[in-house]
Amino acid sequence: MGRLSAMRMLVFGGTIFVSKAVAAEAVRRGHDVVCAARGTSGEVPDGATWLRIDREEPDALAGLAGERFDAVVDTSIMSHAWVADALAVLGATAGHWTFVSSISVYADEVTPGQRPGAPVVEPRAAHATLADRDADPGLYGAIKVASENAVRDALEGRAFIVRPGLITGPGDRSDRFGYWPARFTRGGRVVVPDVEQEIQYVDVRDLAEWIVTGAEQRLVGTFDAIGPRCGLRDLLAGIASGFDAELVPVLAGQLADAGVGPWMGPRTLPLWLPPESVGIAAHDPAHAREAGLRARPLDDAVAGALAHERALGLDRPRKAGLTPAEEAEVLGGVS
């Protein structure tokens, strides 16, 4: 497939995390980038054009009627309505369409080695908020499935569906990956989960590069946007290798007895998954790798994550992880 020398690209968002990384990468490559966003979450990258659009407003996309873009990138989180509206206004004329979905679409969260084609959850054509997702954890994946289906139906032969798993790097505010390099900078004895579990992630910069390349090359199909699988113990040891820290492995049962949970939330250890969810971080990466997704070296991913952590403040309150006091309490119980 040929690569366009220059594209007119519309990015929904462009002010935070994934959409901003995509817009920045497209600008870097010399494309004409329009970011459609409210503008309340941040600024668009230098070189991009900001078009104020609030997708919560009636007829929000009316100003785009009649516009034609070589590529559209939609990162709508939990709104089938937003996706449908965008398709209605721009789908007929867009040269290529990327929809950023999620690994959460899969019905089976236990079995490792899955890839596109495995069963997904039942679609729900809904519009939801973060509070709705907290009340109904299955809603997020169900809306993504409905949105994927809408994109495929409207843009047969022009749709690129990417399903990221854990996204890390600059702009990540989840604390799931960044907690670890931030913690290792303090040194000393560090509580880590001693579990047999695989883990995988994708750096936001690698994801953005692939999305832009996919638009340039008119890549179509559905892909799990994930990096290589590795053991959690090995990943944590690799992250810690550049720091003066002593890893203290603690068994899952001991962590539970100490009131420490997996994945995210207060008093947790990020990247450690509950048994019923271990499959979501162990999908088959071969399909996306064959389609051009590349993973940067771990030390580069760690450096990017840590630079972002420093910018946010290493000692800030976190969405995931242990506070120093909580970790000292756990260490006291296993010494």
- Tokens representing residue 79 in the block: 């709104």
pLDDT at 292 over 80: yes
Compute how many other C-beta atoms are within 10 angstroms of the C-beta atom of residue 40.
Answer: 8
The answer to whether 33 touches 23, Cβ cutoff 8 Å, is: yes
Please state, in angstroms and rounded to a whole number, the distance separating the CA atoms of residues 75 and 102.
10
Condensed to tens digits (0 to 9), the pLDDT of residues 122-153 reads: 999 999 887 887 788 899 999 999 999 999 99
* Alpha carbon of residue 299 to chain centroid: 19
Q: In this predicted structure, what is the pLDDT of residue 4?
A: 54
Please state, in angstroms and rounded to a whole number, the distance separating the CA atoms of residues 215 and 225.
15
The lowest-confidence range among 12-16, 39-43, 93-97, 312-316 is 39-43
Q: In this predicted structure, what is the pLDDT of residue 130?
A: 76
pLDDT at 82 over 90: yes
Please state, in angstroms and rounded to a whole number, the distance separating the CA atoms of residues 104 and 296.
24
Condensed to tens digits (0 to 9), the pLDDT of residues 35-45 reads: 999 988 899 99
pLDDT at 1 over 50: no
Cβ burial of 283 (10 Å; 0-12, 13-18, 19+) is buried
Long-range contacts of the stretch 52-55 (C-beta < 8 A, 24+): 55/12, 55/79, 55/82, 55/85
pLDDT at 335 over 80: no
- Nearest 5 degrees, angle CA 278-CA 279-CA 284? 140
Q: In this predicted structure, what is the pLDDT of residue 83?
A: 97
Residues with Cβ within 8 Å of 40's Cβ and at least 6 positions away in sequence, in order, are none
Sheet of 8-12: strand order equals 49-52, 32-37, 8-12, 71-74, 97-100, 159-164, 221-225
Quickly state the pLDDT bin for 2 (edges 50, 70, 90): very low
Mean pLDDT to the nearest integer, 304-319: 95
Please state, in angstroms and rounded to a whole number, the distance separating the CA atoms of residues 312 and 49.
26
pLDDT at 305 over 70: yes
- H helices present in 75-124, as ranges: 80-90
- Please report the domains of the chain, with CATH numbers, ordered by start residue: 8-169+200-225 (3.40.50.720), 179-199+229-283+297-334 (no CATH)
Q: In this predicted structure, what is the pLDDT of residue 5?
A: 73
One-letter amino acid of 326: E
Compute how many other C-beta atoms are within 10 angstroms of the C-beta atom of residue 215.
Answer: 26
The answer to whether 209 touches 291, Cβ cutoff 8 Å, is: no
In this prediction, what percent of the chain has a pLDDT beyond 90? Answer: 90
Condensed to tens digits (0 to 9), the pLDDT of residues 201-256 reads: 999 999 999 999 999 999 999 999 999 999 999 999 999 998 999 999 999 999 99
Q: What is the mean pLDDT of the chain?
A: 95
pTM confidence score: 0.95
First to last CA, the chain: 59
